[in-house]
Structure 1
């Protein structure tokens, strides 16, 4: 966190040019590796530049002004995660589940969490932030040492594992993705039982408490391999590991039996048990082991909803670095209604609009955000007012087995009366 700039040197807290260049050139490792996850956990929310007025910017040396402009471009497109009522609901559930599961002593299977929502709603960001916060607390609790480690070993302590579900998921490819998180050595020709054993050993040896499987909606229950992946995930839940699954419209994938959307609670409600089976897979087993939570978008109807949206805009406004920015730039006048109309309250689209707007404001020299400038930013859809309120859930997932068509039996025409002309032709 940067402090306010001093009067003598307004850019005293600005990173050096070499550091700024390093931020641009080094990129970032992906979270689906141990190194990438640790980089995310230790660097999240740190890109906050010192505030600077127009007069302070003009009084700075030209070289440092260039450095500051480049650095604020980086920070303006990496705005820190803001707390929202929707994000808080998901975070509380994850925190409650993790705290409860880590205290259990003899439960053979730990309950998991499914986080569903539509695109750009912030599912992955919310889940990763909650998991990273849990890891921070877990490491501090155990003095950054692996509990129960064998003396003389050097196993990595990885309380959280983040893995993206393979595009074409099979039990083998899922195991390989988990092993690749640790860069574990294994034979590519290993059988599935061998891979499952290696995954089990890796999770235990590295002290894994949370396994995040992102993009779980890639699974479709009409595919046999995807059903086997679901069985594998249920097996992992018996390894003292809490599973957190995220995906788009999870109820429509068939992972859970048909759910109903309750507008009042903005949550999925499971109907009473039925004796339904999907291709021999008892889906209620998954339902009973996971709690499904829906990550919603902002609404702008009640006073409470409007206040929540305004608070979110204020949080963004504090971290935007534009030389002509003023207090209330995003919250005064008709700007909140404009932003709601443009984005439909979708957090990801709102962030993209603000980020692109800051780039345009700097390039044009306006150094502020207003409706005229944001009108020049093209989103995927300008009118988001018709965003889905009730995600459609199919009654049954499609099946790959086609019901055999009954071949229509041809009619016997031997005794058909073809008329006088036909009779003459036959006798002639």
Structure 2
């Protein structure tokens, strides 16, 4: 971000686009530019009024950009995920033996920051790995100029199948997929991961892969095949324990991992099936809880971080943390980080537009959080159902029959979820 008073500031604010992380070029752009956004300077209302009309407009636009690009804050929940994920990727990358690498499953409901937390950890690993190897692929084959990509991030297609998932992985590298069968696609995936020096393969929204029939082995065999490719497989999804992806897995209480038995087939999609068990760490990314002193303190710290990032002229210390605001914000968002961020950023825009320049309950009551997002799959649980919490004081529309469905977002997932937390 340039100086807000420079001639190019307005053009940069209007033309900068978020990177697509599901291509090699997009991932590299994300990795190298994350954290480079410069927020608007903190000015007093008198300093703002002393500006020319054009400079005031540019500064207001910069303030808006600041509010919709709030920094990713570390929470106790994300720290738990980050530590496990970083440890697993880093340790596996240094293994020399041919044993199957343990994978990681990151579970949680929509808007809880699973993707951002995962990508931040993976990008940090790639920074270190590239520096360690002088930005060269240590496994490059002589005479080739293959792209070096220690991390491959793939968005699982909506209503995905094993074949389309393989095609999405190959699309990350720009590889041709037309006319290939599933076994050929899996083999091509294995070759691409090896050629490009991939150490971690992230499959986001993995629960979009449907278990189409009771005896369908395609999805499970695909997971087994990926884990045989000497990469750390990172699966990110909603309600992974209930999706069927772990239906054949067994919980090992000693190692606190899910164990997926070897495939019964001699070959898995054209690859030789080994008898090695596949192991996964399952970790939950939970919402904030307001039921214990530790949980309340963590939520308050998060609100302080949000306060410090806002650029509202009438905002003061304690705007989000004093009186009944913490309880109000918890009721509106259920402690879900993404919904809290959405409420604050929309509220900040209303505060600027209305001239009130602060956030309070009266202003936030006017904000309706719309969860309609064409990029999310409601059937896969990617849009949370928070009944009466995120739709303001009017509690939103009532379905036919006059009763609201019970909110199940924060229900205990049972022993499957508890085992991996």
Tell me which interval the TM-score lies in, with the shorter structure as reference length. Answer: 0.7 to 0.9
Q: Which has the larger radius of gyration?
A: 1
In structure 2, the residue matched to 1:33 is 23
| Long gaps (5+) in structure 1 | 3-11, 262-268, 395-428
1:291 counterpart SS class: strand
Greater shift, 244-253 or 219-228, is seen at: 219-228
In structure 2, the residue matched to 1:189 is 179
Aligned partners of 2:161 and 2:210 also within 8 Å? no
In structure 1, the residue matched to 2:163 is 172
CA distance in 2, matches of 1:358, 1:90: 30
TM-aligned CA deviation for residue 362 of structure 1: 0.7
Q: Specify which of 301, 304, 309 is matched with residue 311 of structure 1.
A: 301
TM-aligned CA deviation for residue 32 of structure 1: 0.8
Are positions 1:79 and 2:70 aligned together? yes
In structure 2, the residue matched to 1:228 is 218
Are positions 1:101 and 2:101 aligned together? no
| Long gaps (5+) in structure 2 | 269-274, 371-386, 391-406, 417-421
Q: Aligned ranges for residues 206-355 of structure 1 at < 5 Å?
A: 206-223=196-213, 227-257=217-247, 288-355=278-345
Relative to structure 1, is the Cα distance of residues 287 and 256 closer, same or farther in structure 2, using a 3 angstrom cutoff?
A: farther
Give per-residue Cα distances to partners, 1:203-235, cap 9 Å, x unaligned: 111111110001111123344897313312221
TM-aligned CA deviation for residue 151 of structure 1: 4.8
Give per-residue Cα distances to partners, 1:188-217, cap 9 Å, x unaligned: 112333322221221111111110001111
Relative to structure 1, is the Cα distance of residues 322 and 152 closer, same or farther in structure 2, using a 3 angstrom cutoff?
A: farther
TM-score by length of structure 2 reads 0.80
Are positions 1:388 and 2:410 aligned together? yes
Relative to structure 1, is the Cα distance of residues 141 and 344 closer, same or farther in structure 2, using a 3 angstrom cutoff?
A: same
TM-score by length of structure 1 reads 0.78
TM-aligned CA deviation for residue 239 of structure 1: 1.7
CA distance in 2, matches of 1:286, 1:319: 49
Q: Specify which of 39, 43, 59 is matched with residue 52 of structure 1.
A: 43
Relative to structure 1, is the Cα distance of residues 247 and 15 closer, same or farther in structure 2, using a 3 angstrom cutoff?
A: farther
Aligned partners of 2:224 and 2:278 also within 8 Å? no
CA distance in 2, matches of 1:141, 1:15: 39
2:135 counterpart SS class: coil
Aligned partners of 1:165 and 1:174 also within 8 Å? yes
2:217 counterpart SS class: helix
Aligned partners of 1:161 and 1:212 also within 8 Å? yes
In structure 2, the residue matched to 1:138 is 129
The RMSD of aligned alpha carbons is 3.0
CA distance in 2, matches of 1:272, 1:33: 31
Relative to structure 1, is the Cα distance of residues 86 and 178 closer, same or farther in structure 2, using a 3 angstrom cutoff?
A: same
Relative to structure 1, is the Cα distance of residues 25 and 225 closer, same or farther in structure 2, using a 3 angstrom cutoff?
A: farther
2:236 counterpart SS class: strand
In structure 1, the residue matched to 2:148 is 157
Matched residues, number: 368
2:237 counterpart SS class: strand
Relative to structure 1, is the Cα distance of residues 226 and 307 closer, same or farther in structure 2, using a 3 angstrom cutoff?
A: farther
CA distance in 1, matches of 2:135, 2:257: 40
1:289 counterpart SS class: strand
CA distance in 1, matches of 2:276, 2:40: 46
Aligned partners of 2:343 and 2:369 also within 8 Å? yes
CA distance in 1, matches of 2:388, 2:212: 35
Greater shift, 77-86 or 55-64, is seen at: 55-64
CA distance in 2, matches of 1:271, 1:374: 43
TM-aligned CA deviation for residue 38 of structure 1: 1.5
Aligned partners of 2:156 and 2:205 also within 8 Å? yes
